Structure 1
Amino acid sequence: MLTFKTIRQTAATGIMTEHYLRLLVAEGRCPGIYSGNRFLINVEALSELLDRQSREGVQENG
């Protein structure tokens, strides 16, 4: 089952700061949906995105 949380709830988990999450949403790079005026983050997809970017960074740096 998909887990959706608000920006503030996601930041409280310690994944990343609220400010950085808001920047990702503004840039359209954060996985999730709008429900009214709130953006709900797909936490599982965000974790996968961060894992993938981390692996790519390690491979590029040797």
Structure 2
Amino acid sequence: MNLKSSMAKTNPEFEVESAYEAHLSECAKEAQRSKAHLEWFVVYAQKPLSATSQE
């Protein structure tokens, strides 16, 4: 997901591509040093067909 436009609203420096990329790089380094991680789950479901549509 591209968060650049949202982040630029809170910090106009991020409108400059190089500043945004440098910030992401620093975040990645910090996450690796602190062994940070995020568990991500995706769940898909479908409602059963109604009785009238099965006929």
Q: Given the two structures, how large is their TM-score scaled by the length of structure 2? A: 0.48
Higher relative contact order, chain-length normalized (CA < 8 Å, sep 6+): 1
Which has more radius of gyration?
A: 2
Q: Given the two structures, how large is their TM-score scaled by the length of structure 1? A: 0.44
